[in-house]
Chains A and B, each alone.
Chain A
Amino acid sequence: MVSLPLRSQHAPEIGGADITFAPPARPSLLGSEAELRVALGGLSGVDAVGANARVAALGTRSLKQGTKRALLDLAISMIDLTTLEGMDTPGKVRSLCTKALRPDPSDPSVPHVAAVCVYPDLVEMARNFLGDAPVAVASVATAFPSGRASLNVKLADVREAVAAGANEIDMVIDRGAFLTGKLGLVYDEIVAVKEACGSAHLKVILETGELVTLDNVRRASWLSMLAGADFIKTSTGKVPVAATPPVVLVMLEAVRDFAEETGVVVGVKAAGGIRSAKDALKYLVLVNETAGSAWLTPDLYRFGASSLLNDLLMQRAKQRDGHYVRSDRFSGD
């Protein structure tokens, strides 16, 4: 008998009488946490140096004349005009809605924005102010911005906002769970929120400033899309690092690849920190040259911003009149 140098104390003797080899059940990863890990781990990595270089190169695109005018208007129509402060009041929401409908009262050719974005308790008020106008009401929900609440609380948050008339729900993912590898938890939560949304569109906020690496951004994007997101969104605007061009580049690559793989077209929302028209146009170039022209519509690309709108109006007036006007010409909010 050959003695094998096995470390196990209970090494079965080869040929022993009481050993039977039952055919094991065919192993399956489907529906398990491991399935997500394998699927997302199989995504190609992102080389941050290369991503930054690509963004820098596209940042040198020169937009002039008709293209510039068209993109300024497009950018206005893509804005989710946002107020997310503890001190929000009915008065503030009213002026936000007024501005959303008619950003520049002196120029009726300015398009309205895509949506106003408020906290859930102000949704009804916003809907009333907006009436039947084609401006959507978006509401952050799921214990925005930290997301640190139980699933039941988050779902109640979502249901209330939807019941109050929200057309779009901006949820936050559980970054803690994502960073500890509990991808299934993040996934299940998105699925549950999506269900609670009913017919409302779901935007999933990745909070990329807390995910930090571009590899994480790509995985979180795919995770959200697999779970049913209608939009993936960069940030809450409540942490120091919000939308950056490399992050948006990676998210645009993700929606493009997801659409090619599955046929499901998901939108992207860059939120936080975008204040100048110049930056907004750079993002639109990024959209055009990464995901393509199909995404150049408010249905598939949004800016979450507040002060950006006035700069777009100012640049628009400059294009129209050939000179700048003072910023007081545009209403503060």
Chain B
Amino acid sequence: MSELQHQTWSRLNDLEYAPAPESRDIVSIRPNYGLFIDGQFTDPGSHQGFQTINPATEAPLATVALGSAADVSRAVISARRAYDQVWSQMPGKERAKYLFRIARLIQERSRELAVVETLDNGKPIRESRDVDVPLAAAHFFYYAGWADKLEHAGFGAQPRPLGVAGQIIPWNFPLLMAAWKLAPALAAGNTCVLKPAETTPLSALILAEILQQAEIPPGVVNIVTGDGSTGAALVSHPGVDKIAFTGSTEIGRRIQRELAPSGTHVTLELGGKGANIIFEDAPLDQAIEGIIDGIFFNQGHVCCAGSRLLVQESIADEVQRRLVRRIEQLRVGDPMDKNTDVGAINSAEQLSRIHELVDAGVAEGASRYSTTCTLPDKGFWFAPTVFTEVSQTHRIAREEIFGPVLSVLTFRTPEEAVAKANNTTYGLACGVWSEKGSRTLWVAERLRAGVIWSNTYNKFDPTSPFGGVRESGFGREGGRHGLEAYLNV
């Protein structure tokens, strides 16, 4: 394999598109936010606060309350009261009405939500507008439909809700993860205490406004912002019947250890090191797009990212040549620009983690290619990067980088592809690219992963279950299967 180089005789990014920024003015972010408990926002002055910033500029956006153990306790008590007195008593079709209303309100305020998400998270407005927000609405619509049909979901004649669900969500898809957690829990008759990620609390707080607009009964959903200590208080609260966590494997392991002796139900959606397997008979142009979507979508801040590219050796050189050409084409920069493909890294902490692993990749002997794009001076940025000559033993082939960094490995036979894909402690998602259906099925049967995409990658739909095996966690979100996590079955 030769060193990667970019050919320049017909460049794919020569034409300068003039900036087409989405307007910030359509959203009014309050300077201070309290917690959303029992249907009301608490007084921001009564809490210790922390700043949330725009990772693309490092400019502060708002001061958000840091939920204490006492705050968590109040939220759980409120949720318990709402569960006992209102939500668990309410017929499914009435619960459905609230969920439909939330879905409609998300659609109505979609532009505002997209802007807030992009400001707070750093992801391109194109993605928050076309993926995050529409999918969040779709999840509420989908589970609204289940609320009065639970007895037909295959979990017995009268499946019961669990009670109070504590839900801790990550920063990579803040609103979408809130929807993934809240919609099935509420449809099944649970009440919720949601803890948004420390660096991305704002869209959940807009969602709290939407919940008020929808007139959902007080206490059915409580949103407690904060840091790791807030999440820890929620996990250890004895009044919580269920913990649903999405985040790192390390924290997931800690939660599972802590809750193992208790009766608390747990589902965990953790890290991954997804293999995107390209056979020589793949539809190559689409496979290249799939590789790009697999690792550079959302700056690679995707637990199911196709961060390991497994490419058949007979086409490895061609794939790498095309890949270099394609990543040079990516428009990296202002997330608010509608033409931006890759936005900002979410936090300084995450950026340093990416740097650490990339440095390790170079030190261990892999060959690094980063795009020649110029990065903004302010904010947290990392140029899209591809590593070739990667071995299975390299850290960049084993550890989750959670950034725009792809490790390319090769294989010779389908057996070898499966063996390499499975040679990881994770098991969240894989992609298989081949025009030959029988081969795709043969490979898919042998991959140890919760999600397998065929000739596509990073496609999500509320009707389709999502979740991992092994160190990627357990439990499913989405689809009929997603109800099981919130029913006593």
Task: Report the separation of the CA atoms of residues A292 and B322 in the bound assembly, to the nearest whole angstrom.
Answer: 13
- The majority secondary structure among interface residues of chain A is helix
User: A-side interface residues toward B, CB under 8 Å?
Assistant: 44-47, 49-51, 53-54, 60-68, 250, 253, 256, 259, 288-296
Q: Does B126 count as interface, using CB distance less than 8 angstroms?
A: yes
User: Can you report 27 residue pairs joining A to B where beta carbons are below 8 Å apart?
Assistant: A45-B435, A46-B283, A46-B286, A47-B435, A50-B283, A50-B289, A51-B285, A51-B286, A53-B456, A54-B285, A62-B20, A62-B339, A64-B17, A64-B20, A66-B18, A67-B17, A67-B18, A68-B18, A250-B285, A256-B10, A288-B14, A288-B15, A290-B12, A292-B10, A293-B12, A294-B9, A295-B10
CB atoms of B455 and A63 under 8 A apart? no
- A259: which B residues are within 8 A, CB to CB? 10
B1 to chain A, nearest CB (A): 18
Closest chain B residue to A68 by CB distance?
A: B18
**What total count of A-B pairs have CB within 8 Å?**
82
- A44: which B residues are within 8 A, CB to CB? 281-285, 435
CB atoms of B10 and A294 under 8 A apart? yes
- Residue interface bits B257-282, CB-to-A below 8 A is 1, else 0: 00000000000000000000000011
B442 to chain A, nearest CB (A): 18
Closest chain B residue to A44 by CB distance?
A: B284
CB atoms of B12 and A288 under 8 A apart? yes
For the complex of A and B, 3 pairs with smallest distance between CB atoms: A50-B286, A292-B10, A62-B20
Q: Does B130 count as interface, using CB distance less than 8 angstroms?
A: yes
B222-274 contacts to A (CB < 8 Å) = none
Contact flag A64-B289 (CB < 8 Å), given A44-B282, A47-B283, A49-B456: no
A268 to chain B, nearest CB (A): 13
How many chain B residues touch A (CB < 8 A): the figure is: 28
- Residue interface bits B447-475, CB-to-A below 8 A is 1, else 0: 00000000110000000000000000000
Contact flag A65-B18 (CB < 8 Å), given A50-B289, A50-B290: yes
With most chain A CB atoms within 10 A of its CB, the pick from B11, B16, B284 is B284
Task: Report the separation of the CA atoms of residues A47 and B338 in the bound assembly, to the nearest whole angstrom.
Answer: 27
- Among candidates A50, A65, A253, A293, residue contacting B11 with C-beta atoms closer than 8 Å: A293
CB atoms of A54 and B286 under 8 A apart? yes
Task: Report the separation of the CA atoms of residues A259 and B10 in the bound assembly, to the nearest whole angstrom.
Answer: 10
Q: Does B371 count as interface, using CB distance less than 8 angstroms?
A: no
CB atoms of B15 and A296 under 8 A apart? yes
With most chain B CB atoms within 10 A of its CB, the pick from A62, A253, A256, A295 is A62
- Residue interface bits B83-108, CB-to-A below 8 A is 1, else 0: 00000000000000000000000000
CB atoms of B285 and A60 under 8 A apart? no
Q: Does B217 count as interface, using CB distance less than 8 angstroms?
A: no
Task: Report the separation of the CA atoms of residues A51 and B282 in the bound assembly, to the nearest whole angstrom.
Answer: 13
Since A44-B282, A54-B289 are in contact, a sample of 4 more A-B pairs with Cβ atoms closer than 8 Å, ordered by chain A residue number, is A51-B286, A62-B338, A63-B18, A259-B10
Contact flag A60-B338 (CB < 8 Å), given A50-B456, A51-B286: yes
Task: Report the separation of the CA atoms of residues A288 and B9 in the bound assembly, to the nearest whole angstrom.
Answer: 13
- B286: which A residues are within 8 A, CB to CB? 46-47, 49-51, 54
Q: Does B329 count as interface, using CB distance less than 8 angstroms?
A: yes
